[in-house]
Every structure is written in structure tokens, then in C-alpha cells.
Amino acid sequence: MVPRKNAGRASPFLLILLSFGFFLGTYNLLILVMHKASKSATGELTDPIISRPGDLAGGGAPKFHVALTATDAPYSKWQCRVMYYWYKKMKDEPGSDMGGFTRVLHSGSPDNLMDEIPTVVTDPLPEGLDRGYIVLNRPWAFVQWLEKATIEEDYILMAEPDHVFVNPLPNLAHGDHPAAFPFFYIKPSDHEKIIRKYYPEEKGPVTNVDPIGNSPVIIKKSILEKIAPTWMNVSLRMKDDPETDKAFGWVLEMYGYAVASALHGVRHILRKDFMLQPPWDLDIGKKFIIHYTYGCDYNMKGELTYGKIGEWRFDKRSHLRGPPPKNISLPPPGVPESVIRLVMAVNEASANLPDWETP
Ligand SMILES: *[C@@H]1O[C@H](CO)[C@@H](O)[C@H](O)[C@H]1NC(C)=O
Ligand SMILES: *[C@@H]1O[C@H](CO)[C@@H](O)[C@H](O)[C@H]1NC(C)=O
């Protein structure tokens, strides 16, 4: 027989069959891809989502509402004033997708900033439920605010008082995928045993829990509406469990959000450029938010003396009872740009805001 000859001379019919098969194969593949894509749209991806730098020029994406959770403590108030000042400066710059702004004031009654900053007052948790851990009020504040407010934008940025916008912020979320800043100290995989108390095995691997907190996060409002009650629930249960409370300490409520969002099958786009944290991050570059949670201590040679009070210092915790003075002296030469820019940002706000000294 001559099978080789036959095989080499494919009949047109076979060709048609083959290409039909190929077409079917491609079609199946297409269905598969579409299926995967729609899966990813509901957030059921198992791989971490790595963002593509440069694909988000900003401006033109759906706008997001800036939600700043805060209390009426003097410490919170001066930070909110600086925060809102820089929001107003950046909002209409090219590249910004920033929409409206709300300070979600979760201390239960209006304060003296109601006329300066758009504010919605929400109730704190019932007496004692927060066990002195004030930030547990955040999820409860979001639950209440989302329920009672009419928010024009479809996306929300969850922000905090110690955030300063240093570049116009685009909407970093992609459709149903929220965007978050990855914190190096949030490591769900290092706490598998504890995470499993709240994120059962049938939900998937612990690596589904993103290394994030609730802020900064840009997220679709409709998705946050689902996550917020779970976030509150999980955080309260975590606080109630001595082992969890001890392991997570002051970042417990961040784990609360990370676990709650994972329970809803939501994975975040991790954006390292979302935020910079002086004194550790040195340059502003194209990053968007300065988070001044760490004290900045330097000697006069411009050397970091972290953990030791420096000859020059800026630390938000030095100003618990009222605002820092106007015109804080700039740091000595050699101090990184991030620290200089932070002090300049606070100085500019304090110079321009009325009655700065009023606590
Ligand atoms: C909160 O958790 C409890 C169980 O601890 C559950 O019964 C309740 O439905 C949860 N509520 C929400 C809003 O997730
Ligand atoms: C701020 O302080 C510097 C000295 O540190 C001084 O030279 C400058 O005039 C002050 N600016 C204002 C607006 O007070």
C-alpha cells in the first residue's frame, strides 16, 4: 500500500474537515478564553493580578469618589484639612479621575470642619464593641455611609487622613478589579492557621487573600457594598479572638478587609506606585499618595536616625492635641525628596487654610 503517498496528498475534503476541526478548536479556545475572562471579571482568579505599568495614563476612566474616614479628634482634624487641601489641588489636574469628596466622620456628631470639608456623620460602634481599637469603626462607617449617601461615582477611593496627594490620581481599578497598595507587613501566608479561622479551605488557598488593607483601595461601589458588612463582621470576630488579636495587633482591621474581600472572591490589582511612605521611600516620581505614618527623624548631617528622636523631625504623632505649627523648618541637606515634599505639603496647607491653629 502507499499510505505515505495518500497522506501526503490530502484530499480537499480532508482539508475542509481539518480546517473545520481547526476552526472548532479555535472556537473552543475562544470560548475558554471568554470563560476565563468572564471569570476574572467576577474576581475568581487564582493568580495575583500584576498591573501593567503605563497602561493607565489616567483621566478619562470612570471617576471615583474620595471617601476619607475620620474622627473629630484634633489629631484627625488637622490631617483631614491637609488631605482635603491637596485633593482640591490635584482633582482637576490632567490625569486625574478624582470625583467628589466625602469625609465620613465616624464619631457620631458634627464638628467645626463641616463647612470646610464635605462631611457625612456616621455612628461609632456601640460602646465597648471596638475595645479601644478605634479603627474598627471604619468598616461600620462604610456600611452606614454607603447605605445613606447618594454617591454619583461608580468607584470609591478609601482614603485616610494621613494621605497627601502628590500627583493627580487616575482610577487604577479595572472594571470589577479594585486596585490596592501592597503592604510588606501584611502577609496572609505567614498566618495560615489564623487566616483559616475566617477563610475556610473550601474557599481556596490562603494566597487568595491579598497583602493589603482597605486603604488605599479604589473599588467599584457595588462591590464595596457587598464587602463592607463582611469586613465589619470579620474584623469584630478577629478582635474577639485573643489569638488573632495578638497576632495581628494594630493591623487587625487591615487583615479584616483583606479576608473579607477574598471571601467575596475579589482580587486586587496590586499597585506599588499607589503610595509612598517616607522616610523609607525616597522619591516621589510618578507615585500618587504620600502616607506619613512613620516618623521622620534625621541628624543635622541628613542621616536617618529612625527610632531615635532626631535633631530634625517630623512625626504626625508629635501633634496629637492640635495642628503642627505653620512653616515647619525644612529638613537639613541630604534628606530625601519624599520627606522634603511632605513638609512642604503640610506647610502650604497650613499657610493657606484659615484659622490653622484652631484645634
Ligand atoms: C456575621 O457573622 C455571623 C456569624 O459569626 C453570621 O451569622 C452573620 O450572618 C454575618 N453577617 C454578615 C453581614 O456577614
Ligand atoms: C518660614 O521660615 C523660614 C525660616 O525657617 C523663614 O525664612 C521664612 O520667611 C518663613 N516663611 C513664612 C511665610 O513665615
Per-residue pLDDT reduced to its tens digit, 11-25: 333 333 334 333 333
Instruction: Classify residue 225 as exposed, middle or buried by CB count within 10 Å of its CB (0-12, 13-18, 19+).
Output: middle
The alpha carbon of 341 and the centre of ligand 2 are apart by a number of angstroms equal to 16
Q: Which atom of ligand 2 is nearest to the CA of 326?
A: 14
- Ligand closest to the CA atom of residue 260: 1
The alpha carbon of 233 and the centre of ligand 1 are apart by a number of angstroms equal to 6
Q: What is the pLDDT of residues 157-175, one digit of tens each?
A: 999 999 999 999 999 999 9
Instruction: Classify residue 237 as exposed, middle or buried by CB count within 10 Å of its CB (0-12, 13-18, 19+).
Output: middle
Residue nearest to atom 11 of ligand 2 (CA): 327
Q: Is the CB of 352 under 6 A from ligand 2?
A: no
- Ligand closest to the CA atom of residue 143: 1
User: CB 95: neighbour CB atoms within 10 A?
Assistant: 17
Q: Is the CB of 226 under 6 A from ligand 1?
A: no
Kindly give the pairing relationship between strand 179-180 and strand 119-121: unpaired
The alpha carbon of 317 and the centre of ligand 2 are apart by a number of angstroms equal to 23
Phi, psi (degrees; rounded to nearest 5) at 19: -70, -30
In our burial notation (b when 16+ CB lie closer than 10 A, e otherwise), range 56-77 reads bebeebebbbbbbbbbbbbbbb
Residue 128, SS3 per DSSP: coil
- pLDDT of 131: 73
Please enumerate in sequence order all residues whose Cβ is within 8 A of that of 355, keeping only pairs 6 or more positions apart, or say none.
Answer: none
Please enumerate in sequence order all residues whose Cβ is within 8 A of that of 83, keeping only pairs 6 or more positions apart, or say none.
Answer: 68, 159, 161, 162, 163, 164, 165
Q: What is the pLDDT of residues 4-58, one digit of tens each?
A: 433 333 433 333 333 433 333 333 333 332 233 333 333 333 344 444 444 444 5
Q: Is the CB of 28 under 6 A from ligand 2?
A: no
Provide the CA 348 distance to its chain's centre, in angstroms: 25
User: CB 213: neighbour CB atoms within 10 A?
Assistant: 24
Q: Which atom of ligand 2 is nearest to the CA of 327?
A: 1
Q: What is the pLDDT of residues 307-359, one digit of tens each?
A: 899 999 999 999 999 999 999 999 999 999 999 999 999 999 999 999 999 87
- Ligand closest to the CA atom of residue 240: 1
Instruction: For residue 310, give the C-alpha cell.
Output: 532626631
Q: Which atom of ligand 1 is nearest to the CA of 229?
A: 13
Q: How far apart are the first and last CA of the chain?
A: 99
The alpha carbon of 167 and the centre of ligand 2 are apart by a number of angstroms equal to 25
The alpha carbon of 129 and the centre of ligand 1 are apart by a number of angstroms equal to 16
Percent of the chain with pLDDT over 90: 79
Q: Domains of the chain (ranges plus CATH)?
A: 12-274 (3.90.550), 278-352 (no CATH)
CA distance 310 to 156: 38
Q: What does each C-alpha distance from 332 to 160, 197, 283, 301, 336 come to in angstroms?
A: 28, 49, 16, 7, 10
Question: What average pLDDT does the segment 243-248 reach?
Answer: 96
Q: Is the CB of 358 under 6 A from ligand 2?
A: no
- pLDDT of 58: 56
Residue nearest to atom 9 of ligand 2 (CA): 327
Q: Which amino acid is at 94?
A: P
Q: Is the CB of 79 under 6 A from ligand 1?
A: no
The alpha carbon of 234 and the centre of ligand 1 are apart by a number of angstroms equal to 8
Q: Which amino acid is at 20?
A: F
